[in-house]
Chain A
Amino acid sequence: MKISEIIEKIKLNILTGDYEDSEVIFGYVSDMLSDVMGHAPSESALITILAHENVIAVAMLRDISIIILVNNRKPDQKTIEKAVEEGIIIGSTELSAFEVSGILYNGGVSGKYE
């Protein structure tokens, strides 16, 4: 799925400004950072409720391209700035992790356990 398509389908509010409309191939859902660190595929979309700045460090180290915050979670300004600095997109949606995963999966985004 293209990022623009994800934005439209899950009503994602992008918080990091301009983005490159790249293709998202894999997705990963987790609220445990060590789990993300250990198993999230590269270039994936991370679906999570964790909105603090450590998520950006993990996303950067794992080459995660977009962080989808569910249940309307919002990061603080420092976290947003760090994401912009690292070139990681963050968006927030009112949908739950389950709903977002279903929509992305139906759209062709797949899971891969590394």
Chain B
Amino acid sequence: MDKTYHIEGGNFSEAGFASSDVKKLLKKLGLPTNIIKKAAIAMYEAEINVVAHAYRGDMEFKIIPGQILVTVQDEGPGIPDLELAFTEGFSTASSKVREMGFGAGMGLPNIKRNTDDISVETEVGKGTRLSFVINI
């Protein structure tokens, strides 16, 4: 099974749509609560990253036997220092985004903590491709 969601940069009112939709789907499929929770957290953070930092992106969600696979490809500024981006507390979010309660510097760390494998390919000025796996 697979699904693709389009994410528009800056559109906070739609943020969380893809992760909510997937959460409902995983519940319907009867997956264990802890797996659903992990997938929901990782996907929400990935959506917020696109909304807060990129211009637009697509999130592809796939279930294969034993695994949930998610890939988020965006057009955006890219990440100049990946190690810093994975450091809890580090954020480049704007003050407007912070006022909304985002930009705690926990996005990528939260994704890493809730997934079994994660990879990021990024090019400054072009965009970022984030992929993660959750074992079922």
Contacts and interface: CB of A to CB of B under 8 A. Distances in A.
Interface of A: 31-35, 37-38, 42, 48, 50, 52-55, 57-58, 60-62, 78
Interface bin, chain B: 20 to 34
A37 B110 contact: yes
Nearest to B17: A57
Interface string B57-74: 000000000000000000
B113 interface: yes
A57 B12 CA distance: 11
Contact of A38 (B12, B13, B19, B110): B110
Nearest to A49: B101
B106 A58 contact: no
A32 B104 CA distance: 6
Contacts of A54: 12, 15-16, 100-102
B93 to A, nearest CB: 10
Q: Taking chain B's interface residues, is the majority helix, strand, or loop, or is none over half, making it mixed?
A: helix
B13 A37 contact: no
Given A57-B15, A60-B20, A34 B45 contact: yes
Nearest to B41: A37
Nearest to B39: A61
Interface of B: 12-13, 15-17, 19-20, 23, 37, 40-41, 44-45, 48, 100-107, 110, 113
Contacts of A58: 16, 44
B13 A50 contact: no
Given A61-B19, A61-B20, A33 B101 contact: yes
B20 A35 contact: no
Contacts of B102: 32-34, 54
Contacts of B104: 32-35
Contacts of B103: 34
Nearest to A31: B101
B113 A38 contact: yes
